[in-house]
Structure 1
């Protein structure tokens, strides 16, 4: 994943996120499954090599942040909300930069993006939980 995160500690509503995920490089640890995920039934990497998320708003919650934005997969854009824990306390990395961590999650409906449409819901559920763990270097 490649991301640009602007985090304003004093006013989180001024924060922004723009992320690009290389779906063509999907690696689940099982080559056969990876090959299926790359087909037009799933991510269609021959036509769409990336998925993107762009924030529209950021708000502070009791447990972290709520980031609302637009998720684009296979050329289809739908609203998505990330529930975020973090940032963690900063630590100095081996690169001598300050690093903070974030954990984010959301649930998407695969049918909204034309993912796995040839599989019945009884075989492949429509709700897909997405978990993201980020280590971010402060610039």
Structure 2
């Protein structure tokens, strides 16, 4: 009897955590927005260190979520300061003119348990296109802190053609395809 009372109490206390729309913000220690571009000699991995991410939705139904990402293009980091400065120039990201890279979801579809397709508008270098981002491991669950919830979108990967976004410099030396990757862990915002 004691076990069932404890279980029922835990369920009743946890139910509000998982009911209805919630707002989540990124855990910056476990979130990476990255990319990989190929050159004639080697691949160049990079990431954006400064970003804003907002996820709103019902943890029990990720398919109804809305997602907004804003990457600070000036925060590009490839572990090479000279290359990063060049990527910020007008030949690539042109951060003086286009300081932000954005994605706003228009639809989130669960295609299988833990697998999502997130469709939305992606704006890079002043060009906006609709893309669909496949996520191979998504879900929600209890966080490390008592009463907390985390949402995760893990192993998201998509390839874009940089020419489609007006980034055409060094096309003979740098591949046109750029792989975009993401791993996101987000925490529920208290009271929202």
Counterparts of residues 1-139 of structure 1 (less than 5 Å): 1-62=51-112, 63-84=114-135, 85-87=137-139, 89-93=141-145, 97-103=148-154, 104-115=156-167, 117-120=168-171, 122-139=172-189
TM-score (norm 2): 0.65
**Deviations, residues 8-42 of structure 1 (Å, cap 9, x unaligned):** 23443321111100011112211011011101111
Secondary structure in structure 2 of the residue aligned to 1:14: strand
Instruction: Compute the displacement of 1:88 (Å).
Output: 5.2
Name structure 2 gaps, 5 residues minimum.
1-50
The structure whose RCO (Cα within 8 Å, separation 6+) is larger is 2
More helix by share: 2
TM-score (norm 1): 0.87
Counterparts of 2:142 and 2:157 in 1: how far apart (Å)? 21
**Deviations, residues 61-87 of structure 1 (Å, cap 9, x unaligned):** 225110001100111101111111212
Number of aligned residue pairs: give it. Answer: 136
Counterparts of 1:123 and 1:96 in 2: how far apart (Å)? 51
More strand by share: 2
The structure with the larger Rg is 2
Counterparts of 1:126 and 1:8 in 2: how far apart (Å)? 38
Name structure 1 gaps, 5 residues minimum.
none
Native 8 Å contact 1:80 1:108 kept in 2: no
Counterparts of 2:62 and 2:183 in 1: how far apart (Å)? 19
Native 8 Å contact 2:107 2:120 kept in 1: yes
